[in-house]
């Protein structure tokens, strides 16, 4: 249940879980905008703790939390983190929502270049890029829109790229029981650009391969060759 969540997070969770028009929450979606501490409900105490922690950080770095530009920052940061970590609240069953179909098809299915934005759990800095997900059906396929939603569910959590890549592959494998699954994720990490080694343009690539993608060289090579082809232009 998501009734305890702030409205803007509840709407975002509904958008990840459901198709347009399927959810009453999605139909009532309002723009996500700043303003207003969340009052009442289970979130109130946690929200206050987050906002107090942000004020402490501002004081620690030598800022004045009461100056005009910062007075609303604790509330905005609280709302931002609730939004960026909405994936914790997505119900996988509602996301799939029965969109698994029996199909006499056994060739590779690939969804490429799915954009995502996530937060590195080590520094709470963003990493972002794209994911490509492939599987070889064993008589069952999943609705096309569900694969980007799966990526979104895992991206909107505190993550390391390696784990997120494996989670996406495991989810497809468990739900479809296909002959094989392959996932490749490429991302830029701001923790490597803004701090530390400070190397702009550094791209991290991770992969997870299961079933035929792991055991059959030809299948893995076909997957990688598809990734190297130019993206079709609409």
- Tell me where in the chain the CATH 3.30.1130.10 domain(s) lie: 94-228
Query: Element (H or E) spanning 121, and its range?
Result: none
Q: Which of 6-10, 36-40, 135-139 has the largest mean confidence?
A: 135-139
Who wins on pLDDT, 39 or 6? Answer: 6
The string of pLDDT tens digits covering residues 135-153 is 999 999 999 999 999 999 9
**186 assigned to active site:** no
Flag whether pLDDT at 30 surpasses 90: no
- The DSSP H or E segment spanning 188 is strand 180-189
Class of domain 94-228: alpha beta
* 167: annotated active-site residue: no
pLDDT tens readout for residues 54-102: 999 999 999 999 999 999 999 999 999 999 999 999 999 999 999 999 9
pLDDT for the residue 104:
95
Q: Which of 15, 89, 120, 179 is catalytic?
A: 120
Q: Per residue in 151-206, pLDDT tens? A: 999 999 999 999 999 999 999 999 999 999 999 999 999 998 888 777 888 899 99
How confident is the model at residue 1, as a pLDDT? 62
45 pLDDT band, cuts 50/70/90, is low
Between CA 100 and CA 84 the distance in angstroms is 28
Look up 228 and say whether it is catalytic: no
Domain with CATH 1.10.286.10 in the chain: 7-89
Q: Specify whether 179 is catalytic.
A: no
* Measured distance CA(191)–CA(120) in Å, rounded: 8
Give the separation between CA 48 and CA 64, rounded to whole angstroms. Answer: 18
Residue range 29-57: average pLDDT? 60
Instruction: State the pLDDT at residue 31.
Output: 36
Catalytic residue, candidates 8, 78, 89, 189: 189
**Residue of 4, 7, 22, 122 with catalytic role:** 122
> What's the confidence (pLDDT) of residue 234?
63
Does the domain at residues 7-89 carry the CATH identifier 3.80.10.10? no
Q: Is 78 a catalytic residue?
A: no
Q: Residue 173 and residue 182: Cα distance in Å, rounded?
A: 10
In the set 7, 121, 162, 177, the catalytic residue is 121
Out of 159, 161, 166, 179, pick the active-site residue: 161
């Amino acid at each position: 249940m998501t009734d305890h969540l702030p409205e803007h997070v509840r709407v975002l969770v509904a958008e990840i879980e459901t198709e347009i028009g399927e959810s009453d929450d999605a139909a009532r979606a309002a723009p996500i905008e700043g303003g207003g501490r969340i009052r009442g409900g289970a979130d109130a105490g946690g929200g206050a703790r987050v906002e107090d922690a942000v004020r402490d950080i501002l004081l620690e770095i030598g800022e004045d939390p009461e100056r005009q530009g910062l007075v609303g920052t604790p509330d905005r940061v609280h709302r931002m983190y609730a939004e960026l970590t909405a994936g914790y609240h997505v119900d996988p069953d509602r996301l799939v929502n029965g969109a698994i179909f029996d199909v006499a098809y056994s060739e590779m299915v690939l969804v490429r270049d799915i954009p995502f934005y996530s937060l590195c759990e080590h520094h709470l800095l963003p990493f972002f890029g794209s994911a490509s997900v492939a599987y070889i059906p064993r008589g069952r396929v999943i609705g096309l829109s569900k694969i980007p939603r799966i990526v979104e569910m895992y991206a909107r959590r505190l993550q390391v790229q390696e784990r997120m890549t494996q989670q996406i592959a495991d989810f497809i494998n468990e739900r479809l029981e296909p002959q094989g699954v392959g996932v490749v994720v490429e991302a830029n990490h701001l923790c490597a650009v803004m701090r530390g080694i400070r190397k702009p343009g550094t791209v991290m690539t991770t992969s997870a391969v299961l079933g035929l993608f792991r055991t059959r060289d030809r299948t893995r090579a076909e997957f990688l060759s598809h990734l190297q082809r130019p993206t079709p232009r609409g």
